[in-house]
Amino acid sequence: MTTPQEEVQQQAANVMGHVAGLAATRTIQIGLEAGLFEALAESPKTSDELASAKGIDTLYSMVWCRSAFANEVLEKDGDKYKLAPHIDKLLLDEEFPGFIGGMVRTITQPEVFDSFAEKLHSGERLWWDKCGPDFIESVGLTGRPFYTRMIANGFSQVPGLNERLEAGASVLELGCGAGIGLVKLARAYPKVSLVGLDGDAYSLDLVKERLAGEGVEADLIHSTLEDFDIDSQHDVAFINISMHECRDLDKVTQNVHKALKPEGVFVISDMPFPETDEACRTVPARIMSAIQFFEGQIDDQLLPTRFYVDLLEKHGFRDVGSFDITPVHMVVHGQK
Ligand SMILES: C[S@@+](CC[C@H](N)C(=O)[O-])C[C@H]1O[C@@H](n2cnc3c(N)ncnc32)[C@H](O)[C@@H]1O
């Protein structure tokens, strides 16, 4: 039997773990922003060598290296520090399907916790046009591995979809953000024709720049998801980590149904908020709970997979199916 004293110790260890988690996250964030991981990926270095390679203070370099080592993102070779195994992929390689660097950058942006704390009493809400460029960029980096995974092994799990994309489907991307997905879709499926839709004008400017820089063509529509009106034009409608943000999920689902040709497919790629209390206490769910601090400010919350399945069925989609790609990435699909 656990004594009250042992219980206190266990709970103290739990809370101390949270403090350490914050320290680890900030250490990673600083390392990403200052290019310290990149410098160590090039070659192992002492903290002094790292300081001189990056032009940072030698004492601060030592403090950062020690913390990164303590949090197991760095290892030591004698007195030189080097990246721990796979950290290059997880934190630096934006094309890696399991890239987490974007998520670290997003949850450390002021729009997530600082802004929430400021608005705690007023309950004031926010929208994308009030978010800074760094936040929008970091969200793009967070969404990137979701696209990578969809192309690597998501679309292929939706019956017949890969074949249609390869043959040259007309694809409507809803909530296209900064256009990373449009470029990735164009590269993976060169025959597709693309339309990107988003409600945020600044994001669409970023899309235009990106498309021009990458030599990719796509039509762009500036509209809310609730207000667009397209009739039977697309083979595929795709939405990446944005469906939960709809103000009116029924209206958006109706709009998507109307926009699709007969047999057209709607694919939702999003974060699955757990349905049970028990599942809320996992690491993926705790990260999704962090994301909810931003979602709350734009007046929505992440939703469970079951919700989207019911939504598509309710609005006449057939052969509705769902699957998880990772613990923070689910897919729901249905056919018109
Ligand atoms: C989380 S970001 C995702 C962007 C992109 N899909 C990605 O994965 O990087 C959500 C995007 O959806 C857009 N959005 C959110 N709610 C919207 C709505 N109701 N109507 C139109 N666009 C919306 C935002 O402007 C933003 O660009």
Characterize 63-72 residue by residue with b for buried, 16 or more Cβ atoms within 10 angstroms of its Cβ, and e for exposed: ebbebbbebe
Q: Is the CB of 181 under 6 A from ligand 1?
A: yes
CB 226 within 8 A of CB 196: no
> Alpha helix (H) ranges present in the chain?
4-33, 36-42, 47-54, 58-70, 87, 101-107, 113-118, 133-149, 161-167, 180-188, 201-214, 249-259, 283-297, 305-314
Measured by CA distance, the residue closest to atom 22 of ligand 1 is 199
Q: CA 151, 178, 325: angle at the middle one, nearest 5?
A: 30
CB 154 within 8 A of CB 269: yes
Q: Does 1 score more than 90 pLDDT? A: no
Instruction: Find the mean pLDDT for residues 107-121.
Output: 97
Two structure tokens written together for 48: 């002094």
Report the distance separating Cα 218 and Cα 179, nearest Å. Answer: 10
CA 323 to ligand 1 center in whole angstroms: 22
Report the distance separating Cα 110 and Cα 257, nearest Å. Answer: 37
pLDDT digits 0-9 by tens, 139-179: 999 999 999 999 999 999 999 999 999 999 999 999 999 99
Strands 193-198, 219-222: pairing is parallel
pLDDT digits 0-9 by tens, 59-101: 999 999 999 999 999 999 999 999 999 999 999 999 999 999 9
pLDDT at 303: 98
Report the distance separating Cα 310 and Cα 140, nearest Å. Answer: 28
CA 238 to ligand 1 center in whole angstroms: 12
Q: Is the CB of 180 under 6 A from ligand 1?
A: yes
Report the distance separating Cα 114 and Cα 22, nearest Å. Answer: 14
**SS3 of residue 326 by DSSP:** strand
Probe residue for ligand 1, chosen from 198, 204, 223, 299 as the CB with the greatest number of ligand atoms within 8 Å: 198
Q: How confident is the model at residue 314 (pLDDT cuts 50, 70, 90)?
A: very high
**SS3 of residue 113 by DSSP:** helix
Report the distance separating Cα 254 and Cα 170, nearest Å. Answer: 19
State how far the alpha carbon of 278 is from the alpha carbons of 17, 218, 281, in Å.
19, 43, 6
pLDDT digits 0-9 by tens, 12-30: 999 999 999 999 999 999 9
22: Cβ contacts below 8 Å, ≥ 6 apart: none
Q: CA 266, 220, 176: angle at the middle one, nearest 5?
A: 50
pLDDT digits 0-9 by tens, 170-195: 999 999 999 999 999 999 999 999 99
Instruction: Find the mean pLDDT for residues 42-56.
Output: 98
Q: Does 333 score more than 90 pLDDT? A: yes
pLDDT digits 0-9 by tens, 211-229: 999 999 999 999 999 999 9
Measured by CA distance, the residue closest to atom 12 of ligand 1 is 175
What percentage of the chain has pLDDT greater than the value 70? 100
**SS3 of residue 175 by DSSP:** coil
CB 234 within 8 A of CB 195: yes
Measured by CA distance, the residue closest to atom 25 of ligand 1 is 200
pLDDT at 120: 98
